[in-house]
Chain A
Amino acid sequence: QSALTQPPSASGSPGQSVTISCTGTSSDIGAYDYVSWYQQHPGKAPKLIIYEVNKRPSGVPDRFSGSKSGNTASLTVSGLQSDDAADYHCASYAGSNRGVFGTGTKVTVL
């Protein structure tokens, strides 16, 4: 049940794209298409923005997209806006009714 690995930080200018990776193992990301991503602004609760690798909940802009290859999932934020500056956390179903989160990535909009 080790945490999924994310880069500590990522950045981009307004209008640009940023992609965040999330690396797990063949027991979590590699085994299931149940990867989710959460956005968290300072002092706030996390918010679900991607589930089942690439699906967006109602109300989440299509600037947010997800993908997966092998044991690594990725989140891409296109057309960066100032409000996208936040922490982003990946998560995966890990089997046996348990979940696991990533180490978190701080996104800065330059």
Chain B
Amino acid sequence: EVQLVESGGGLVQPGGSLRLSCAASGFNFNKSWMTWVRQAPGKGLDWVANINDNGKQKYYVDSVKGRFTISRDNVRNSVYLQINTLRAEDTAVYYCARDSAYNRLDSWGQGTLVTVSS
């Protein structure tokens, strides 16, 4: 059974940083693209970033370029999202998902909540 478990969210002050983690199991992680998606309270889903199977290709939505960094560890079967210079508008539930082809997100974690507030 495919499982994705996010962690690392919490309350952080504006300008702060967080590192989100997503632990994967139940599938061939090192052959899978992985994607981070976020959802602000009461809003729709936003595609944030993705990374290819070997970690050498990384793509970001324009609004987070330069502040967010996606990475992965194929030994630990984990994908990460480093979020710097946090802003109030980054407040959201962050989901990791497996991308099985061309943005087909067929498995999702339960999400981790990031709240940016002073």
Contact of B88 with A by CB under 8 A: no
**Chain B interface size range:** 20 to 34
Residue of B nearest to A51 (CB): B104
Known: A3-B44, A36-B105, A98-B50. 6 other contacts (CB 8 A): A3-B46, A32-B102, A52-B104, A89-B45, A91-B47, A104-B45
Beta-carbon contact of B103 and A91 below 8 Å: yes
Once bound together, how far apart are the Cα atoms of A24 and B99, in whole Å? Answer: 21
8 Å CB contact of B104 from A48, A94, A98: A48
Contact of A69 with B by CB under 8 A: no
Beta-carbon contact of B95 and A104 below 8 Å: no
Contact of B56 with A by CB under 8 A: no
B37: min CB distance to chain A, Å: 7
Beta-carbon contact of A97 and B37 below 8 Å: no
Going nearest first, the 6 A-B pairs with the smallest beta carbon separation are A99-B103, A104-B44, A34-B102, A45-B108, A93-B102, A101-B45
Once bound together, how far apart are the Cα atoms of A94 and B59, in whole Å? Answer: 12
Most central of A36, A45, A97, A102 by chain B CB within 10 Å: A45
A96: B residues at CB distance < 8 A: 59
Contact of B57 with A by CB under 8 A: yes
Contact of B1 with A by CB under 8 A: no
Beta-carbon contact of A48 and B106 below 8 Å: yes
Once bound together, how far apart are the Cα atoms of A86 and B105, in whole Å? Answer: 18
